[in-house]
Amino acid sequence: MTPAVEVQKAWKYFGDYPALRSISLDVPAGTCLALLGRNGAGKTTLLRILSGLSNPSEGSVRILGHGSRDYQARARTGMIGHGIGIYDELSAAENLRLFARLFHVRDAEQTVQQWLTRVSLDRVQNSVVREFSRGMRQRLALARAFLHGPSLLLLDEPFTSLDDRAIALLQSLLADALKGGATVIMSTHQLREAMELATHVALLDRGKLAHSGERPVQMLADPTWLYRTYGDSQ
Amino acid sequence: MRFLRQTASIAAKDLRSELRTKDSLNAAGSFALVIIVLFSFMLDPTETQTVYELSGGLLWLVFAFAGALILNRSFARELPNDCLDMLVASPVSSSALFLGKATANFTLLLVVELVCLPVFGGMYNLSRWSTHLGPLLGVVVLGTWGVTVIGTMFSAITVNLRLRELMLPILVYPIMIPCLMAAMKLSTVLISGEAITGDDWIWLRLLIGFDIIFTSLSLLTVDFVLVS
């Protein structure tokens, strides 16, 4: 079976500094990979390469059997980055309609309405996002990322600064996506939330892949076990 | 078709955002009108021939300065909430993204210019400015596309720079010189009530050639600019 994500000896330099050092990683389709590591380990850099926002300086990346900048890869990938990726001056419905058009979602209007209902923003769908609370904006960002039914989800610290309601919503959306056969890669420092979903883990340490494989059973009881065993404190 | 739909979606999004906030339109429109008024103080309105000879130059300086205000906002608009990342990661081709933004900028700048043109004619007592209105509007459209396409490209290049408001004009104006020269020359002829004849055709060819070359170059290189 072809892995959903294949990374072969990927390096990324910023000037002379190697942010990623010869990363090789296969992520099986239908799994949830928790990408772990201290701040500055290279998690965001790797996710930006996987999402096609950045090219590796050396090495190669295949996403769902295609190059990371290929239309087929990007059309089937959903992303949540550090920013919510939502336009403040547009309404909730206009934001989702825009991304539905860009991702060529069939029955766009119906899909938009379904997602607005799912994230409980249907009553304020015509209000501009600038007037929304932080929690409402976060829920809209989740709808934006899941709108087109992606086969691969790339999430950069998705639980950071989410309120309880948004965390529960995200966990439910991710569980549904995994049940539907999607692949999820998420970088996170919130180990307890991540371990509820993760089937695989990868640990980055100063740009190197310190460990990757199925989630060790020890991490359920002690989420920091991986850091102590393979990380820089070893 | 997919390319055109993506281009239209991006252009519509930018225009809708601008119509909600009117940040660029208000700034560029009022700035253009202020410059037109200020320039009028240095010219003697009784020296009609001198005013006609300078008219094209004055007009395009106003358009170029006002344009910088619109173009500066083009990609900067995408920075809050990391929206640019979402667009680049989406299946929109970089050239469709660029063309959509250039189309929105072109429309906004054209609106400002169409407001300024009659004000300019009236303020400087240029009674013959509308004699060849059709060809003059044609030159305005061609010149504005040249200004827009270069400005949009450099808006993408400078979007992550700390001093982008300063850097954009510094980088863009030298490259615009052939386009501005041609537009100034042709506008001077047409505002003076004369038709484009003889040697003036070379300026029109230069303007069209500039638009074609820089549009093609921008479409070919924008993916390299947007993906680090």
Measured between CB atoms, which of B85, B90, B228 is closest to A102? B90
Write out pLDDT tens, residues A65-105: 898 888 989 999 999 988 889 999 999 999 999 999 999 99
Mean pLDDT, chain A, rounded, equals 88
CA distance A132 to A86: 11
User: Residue B198: what are its φ and ψ, rounded to 5°?
Assistant: 45, -120
Chain B nearest-CA distance from A19, in A, is: 14
Find, in chain A, the residue whose alpha carbon is nearest to that of B7: A102
Cβ distance of A89 and B20 shorter than 8 Å: yes
Which ranges in A51-163 belong to alpha helices (H)? 71-75, 92-102, 108-118, 134-146
Whole-angstrom distance, CA of residue A104 vs CA of residue A99: 8
pLDDT band at A232 (very low <50, low <70, confident <90, very high): low
pLDDT computed for residue B131 by the predictor: 83
pLDDT of residue A233: 47
Give residue-wise pLDDT tens across range A22-51.
999 999 999 999 998 888 889 999 999 999
pLDDT at B193: 86
CA distance A99 to A78: 11
Residue A6 forms beta bridges with which residues? A26, A62
Q: How confident is the model at residue A234 (pLDDT cuts 50, 70, 90)?
A: very low
ipTM for the assembly: 0.88
Q: Test A87 with B17 for CB contact under 8 angstroms.
A: yes
pLDDT of residue B228: 72
Q: Running along chain B, 228 residues long, what does each successive block of 10 average in pLDDT?
A: 91 94 92 92 82 89 93 89 92 94 96 93 83 91 96 91 85 94 94 86 94 96 88
| Chain B CA closest to residue A150 | B90
Residue in A53, A84, A102 closest to B91 by CB: A102
Nearest Cα of chain B lies from the Cα of A54 at a distance, in angstroms, of 5
Please, which residues 16-75 of chain B have a Cβ atom closer than 8 Å to chain A? Answer: 16-17, 20-21
Which residues fall within 8 angstroms of residue A231, CB to CB, at 6 or more apart? A37, A38, A203, A205, A210
Q: Which chain B residues in 78-97 lie under 8 Å from chain A, judged by CB atoms?
A: 80-83, 85-93
Predicted pLDDT at A24: 92
Q: How many CB pairs under 8 A join A and B?
A: 78
pTM for this entry: 0.90
Q: Write out the two tokens for B85.
A: 């990342």
**Each residue's pLDDT tens digit, A173-227:** 999 999 999 999 999 887 777 788 889 999 898 889 888 888 777 776 777 777 7
Confidence at residue A226, expressed as pLDDT on a 0 to 100 scale: 74
Residues 6+ apart with CB under 8 A from A212: A25, A200, A201, A202, A203
Q: How far is B85 from chain A (nearest CA, A)?
A: 7
Which DSSP symbol is given to A91?
B
